[in-house]
Every structure is written in C-alpha cells, then in structure tokens.
Amino acid sequence: MHVVILYLGVLLQGGMRDVELTVVSSILALMLGALGAIGRLYGGRIIGGAIYWYVELIRGLPPILQLFVLFFGLSQFGIDLNPLSAAIIWLVAYGAGYAVEVFRAGIMDVAEGQHEAATALGLDRKITMRKIIIPQAFVAMLPNLTTLIVLQLKNTTLLYLIGYADMMYQARLGADATAQPGPLYVVVAIEYLVLSAIISRIGSSMEKRAAAYR
Amino acid sequence: MSNEVVVKVRGVTKRFGDRVIFENISLDVHKSEVVAIIGPSGVGKSTFIRCINHLHSFDEGTIDVQGFRLVGGQSPSKAELQALHNSVGMVFQTFNLFPHLTVLDNIVLAPMQVKKQARQQAIDRAMHLLAMVGLQNRANTFPKRLSGGEQQRVAICRALAMEPEIMLFDEPTSMLDPELVGDVLEFIQRLARTGMTMVLVTHEMMFAKEVADTVVVMADHGIAEMGPAREVLESPRTERARSFLRRVLNPVGSPREPNLVANGGDDR
C-alpha cells in the first residue's frame, strides 16, 4: 500500500492529463466528424470518396501503428512533433474517422420527409442541416457517441509509448522503480473505470434530456 | 377565381429510370382557384404536385409558377428555387413537423431564417395563425404530444407563416383517424374562402366537390379528365374517370351510379 500512497499524486495528475486530452480531442473530432459525414453524404464523388478512404485507413490500421507513423515515422522526414502535439493530432484524426461513421448513420436515420418539409419552406441546405437534420441525428447517435468518447479515453493509454506523461506512463515508471506493478496498475484501472463511468452517466443523462420530444 | 394564371403546366413528363410515371401533363391553375387532383393510388399525383415546387425534378415540359419557369431536365438556380419556395407552401400527408422543435418553433423557423423576420414579429404571426385553429395554448408543446389532426393544422400554419401565394396539399387527411379529418378539412375550406390558390391531392371526394373549383382525374400516366368539380364528379365523361369514381364512391360494389352517391352526400 505504501507504493500506492507514494504514487497516488502523480497517477491522479496523469489521469487529469488523460481527461484533458480526451475532452479536447473529442470536441475537435466530433466537429470534424460532422463535417466529414456531410462531405461523405453530399460532397460528390471526389470529396465523398476521399473521406470514404480516410475512414477506411483509420479503421483498418492498428492504432499503435498510426501513432508510431505519426510520431516516429514523420521525424525521419524532418517533421518532429512533441508528444503532446502528436497525441492530440492522432486522437483527433482517429476519433474523427469514427465520428464520420457515427454521424453518417445518424444523418441517414432522419426521415426523408424532414428534408422535404425544410426544402418546401425555403430553408437552404446549410440551415436545414444545422437546425433540422443534425439536432435529430445527434439524438439518434448519442449512444454511439458515448462509446466513441470512452474509446478516446482508453486510447490515451497508448500515448505513454511516445513519452506523453499520462497516468499509464506514471504507472510504468512506478512499476519499474518499485518492482510492485500490481497495486499501481489496479489504481490506474480504477481511475479509468471511474472516468468511463462518468462519461457514460453524462451520455445517458443527455440522452434522457434530448429524447424529451420523442 | 380570376383569369390570371399562376401555375401553368405544359407537357410535363416524369420518369424514374425507364419507368414513365406520367407524361405530357398540361394544366392551368388560376389565381384563387382550388384544384383537386384525384385518381387511383400509384398514378403519380403526389409526384406531380412535388414537381410544382421542385421537390421532384421532371424530365420534359415546363412549369411556370408566378413568373418563374421550371424546365424539364434542367436544375433551376438557388435564387430561383428560393423565390419559388417563398411563394409556394406545402402540406404533407405525414405532416413532417420537426419533432425536436416546439409547435411555435416549427412555425417561426422559416420566417426567421428565410425572411429574416425578428423573432417577436414571427411569434406574433404564429400565435395569430395558431389562434385561427384553436391551438394557441399548445404553442410550447412538442408535436408528438398532439393528435394527428392537431399536427396537420400546425403544419398548415407553418406553411402559411411564410405567406405563400399558392398552397399545395398532398393528401392532407389520409393519415388521420376519421374523427380528426373534419377539423383539418374545415381549416382548408376556410383558407379557400380567403382566396388562397390551392392544388390539393385528395381522396375525400365530398370535400373535393364542395371546396374545389376544378377536379383533375389522373389515371394511366396522364390526365383522364378535368373540369368543373361538380361536372367531373357527378357526370364524368370519360370511361376511365367513371370507373375510378364508381370504385371510390361505391367500394363495396352495389350497383349505384356515382352521381347518385355524390348527390346523397352522407355515405362516404
């Protein structure tokens, strides 16, 4: 237990860094994902096709490979990213790839009649998307979005591999220094579980509120 | 009804792929005229009125709406479509209210976004419209909490809030329980009396006879018959119109002629 007390401070600090990354990268990924889904659905062959292949790339390549290409691979060509930038870029790129699919499914879930009604009222495509389609799509895809954000949180564990000092990184250091990995990893596990439980709770309360009209 | 033609349809043909939905349809709608389109299901009545406000494109012919010309096979510019949608309102079979917005927000959305009206001005107008249909106390409710008849009346208010010159109705009462149909039809009838130009796809023959100036019978990819409502419904000239009317007015098949039923008026 001694080792837990010794390392609790840095583990909590590392946890905070994971939370910050998850929040920032999720917000950016969702914004890009919404745009990407619209581009995929309405962008025509070139834009739609490019986004299709981007999603395939993100989905098809192992996360660790993507991260290593970005951090180590690019430095060979003189692009040196610090761990924080690489972490954010990768998490946003990865999350956006998944968010495109989540948003696309949500948008396609909105009934054709909604488009017709909006068009007949003279609303242009941008306003129709912003005021009619996206809000309804958002409700339909909230469960999937919650899953996506939990996934983003869990992806932060990989970042210790590029030297980003998150909770996993601190636990590794502690495990190496004290030769008592067990208790430290248990603390990390508890932190992750608590955080993902919080995300789920926020998600389900948003679902309840958003579904008030249903 | 005046002599001014506000919708002029000439030789309009619509296909989905190789399948012809209707061809060579020509039709004039005059200012303040009420035109009812009837006919068997699947003949493209709903598709046809969607061509008038370009929710559907068409392949050949022209449609002039209030000085704007839609040409078959060509897509109009954004500005033209905008002007078209500003002057043509539409009401749908399935209401298509925006479920995530309250009744009031459904109505004020387009006036604020498209006509750039101030919120208060749009609300005043919306409340006035809702009061006309006795729904002013439901302004802050979500559509789901309303009956079908109430939803459809709100949908009509939503279209009217844009102050259109022409209203299109696509089977506005087909999805309603029978006891809710009356309120909606009554509202449409009141609207007709104010001189609103209307094109209405309907299965309510009695209503068509009472409210419409002109009845168009669509069948076999085109217009089978067209003329003053009473004439067409009571003594159709073409066999195609006659057989359709016989079937809708007398679905169980007793050997009464359509004109007798139409005169009876109590046994729809």
The model's pLDDT over B249-262, given as tens digits with 9 standing for 90+, comes to: 777 765 555 444 44
Question: Cβ separation of A136 and B100 shorter than 8 Å?
Answer: yes
- The helix or strand, by DSSP H or E, that contains position B6, with its residue range, turns out to be strand B5-16
On whether the CB atoms of residues B75 and B57 are closer than 8 A, the answer is yes
A127 to chain B, any CB pair closer than 8 A? The answer is: yes
Amino acid found at A56: E
The burial of B141, by beta-carbon neighbours within 10 Å (0-12 exposed, 13-18 middle, 19 or more buried), is given as: middle
Query: What three-state secondary structure class fits B234?
Result: helix
B158 to chain A, any CB pair closer than 8 A? The answer is: yes
A60 to chain B, any CB pair closer than 8 A? The answer is: no
**Domains of chain B and CATH, by start:** 5-264 (3.40.50.300)
Predicted local distance difference test score (pLDDT) of residue B255 = 54
**Tokens read off for A47:** 């834009």
Percent of chain B with pLDDT over 70: 94
Distance CA A163, CA A165 (A): 6
B94 to chain A, any CB pair closer than 8 A? The answer is: yes
Predicted local distance difference test score (pLDDT) of residue A198 = 92
Predicted local distance difference test score (pLDDT) of residue B263 = 45
Predicted local distance difference test score (pLDDT) of residue B267 = 41
For residue B142, the distance in angstroms to the closest alpha carbon of chain A comes to 6
Predicted local distance difference test score (pLDDT) of residue B159 = 96
B62 to chain A, any CB pair closer than 8 A? The answer is: no
Q: Mean per-residue pLDDT for B156-178?
A: 93
Statement: residue B266 has pLDDT above 50: no
| Residues ≥6 apart with Cβ < 8 Å to A41 | A48, A104, A107, A108
DSSP output for A70-117: IIIIGGGGT----HHHHHHHHHHHHHHHHHHHHHHHHHHHS-HHHHHH
Mutation pick from A129, A207, A213, A214 vs chain B, by most beta carbons of B within 10 Å, is A213
**Tokens read off for B5:** 């033609």
Distance CA A66, CA A74 (A): 11
**Tokens read off for B133:** 């249909």
The burial of B234, by beta-carbon neighbours within 10 Å (0-12 exposed, 13-18 middle, 19 or more buried), is given as: middle
Indicate the DSSP class of residue B198: E
B86 to chain A, any CB pair closer than 8 A? The answer is: yes
β partners of residue B219: B222
Q: Which residue of chain B comes nearest to A115, CA vs CA?
A: B96
A112 to chain B, any CB pair closer than 8 A? The answer is: no
Q: Which residue of chain B comes nearest to A209, CA vs CA?
A: B100
Predicted local distance difference test score (pLDDT) of residue B253 = 63
Closest CA to B199 of B38, B62, B54, B57: B38
On whether the CB atoms of residues A168 and A211 are closer than 8 A, the answer is no
Predicted local distance difference test score (pLDDT) of residue B170 = 95
Q: Mean per-residue pLDDT for B13-23?
A: 91
**Tokens read off for A9:** 């401070």
CB atoms within 10 A of CB B116: 8
Which residues of chain A neighbour B143 with C-beta distances below 8 Å? 213
The burial of A193, by beta-carbon neighbours within 10 Å (0-12 exposed, 13-18 middle, 19 or more buried), is given as: exposed
Summarize chain B as % helix, strand, coil (round to 5).
Answer: 40, 25, 35
Determine the Cα angle at A31 with ends A161 and A43, to 5°.
115
| Rg from Cα positions in chain A | 20
pLDDT means per 10 residues, chain A with 214 residues, are: 75 82 90 91 89 91 86 80 84 92 89 92 91 89 91 86 80 80 84 91 87 74
Distance CA A138, CA B153 (A): 28
Which residues of chain A neighbour B142 with C-beta distances below 8 Å? 212-213
Distance CA B10, CA B61 (A): 6
On whether the CB atoms of residues B249 and B262 are closer than 8 A, the answer is yes
Q: A36 to each of A40, A47, A60, A111, B181, how far by Cα in Å?
A: 6, 9, 18, 20, 44
Which residues of chain A neighbour B158 with C-beta distances below 8 Å? 121
Q: Which residue of chain A comes nearest to B81, CA vs CA?
A: A122
More confident residue, B260 or B96: B96
A122 to chain B, any CB pair closer than 8 A? The answer is: yes
Which residues of chain A neighbour B114 with C-beta distances below 8 Å? 121-123
**Domains of chain A and CATH, by start:** 2-213 (1.10.3720.10)
Which residues of chain B neighbour A131 with C-beta distances below 8 Å? 109, 113
Give the dihedral sign, CA B209/B212/B215/B221: negative
Q: B168 to each of A80, A106, A107, B85, B261, how far by Cα in Å?
A: 62, 30, 27, 11, 28
Q: In the structure, how many helices (H) and strands (E) does chain B have?
A: 10, 10
More confident residue, A11 or B110: B110
Statement: residue B34 has pLDDT above 90: yes
On whether the CB atoms of residues A22 and A151 are closer than 8 A, the answer is no
**Tokens read off for A156:** 């932060």
Q: Mean per-residue pLDDT for B112-140?
A: 94
CB atoms within 10 A of CB A80: 11
Question: Cβ separation of B94 and A113 shorter than 8 Å?
Answer: yes
Closest CA to A99 of A147, A30, A196: A30
Strand intervals (E) in B202-263: 214-219, 222-228
Predicted local distance difference test score (pLDDT) of residue B164 = 95
Question: Cβ separation of B113 and A114 shorter than 8 Å?
Answer: no
Q: Mean per-residue pLDDT for B155-183?
A: 92
Predicted local distance difference test score (pLDDT) of residue B262 = 45
On whether the CB atoms of residues B226 and B216 are closer than 8 A, the answer is yes
Question: Cβ separation of A116 and B110 shorter than 8 Å?
Answer: no
Question: Cβ separation of B114 and A121 shorter than 8 Å?
Answer: yes
Question: Cβ separation of B100 and A135 shorter than 8 Å?
Answer: yes
Determine the Cα angle at B192 with ends B39 and B56, to 5°.
50
Band of the pLDDT at B135, cuts 50, 70, 90?
very high
On whether the CB atoms of residues A156 and A170 are closer than 8 A, the answer is no
Distance CA A197, CA A148 (A): 13
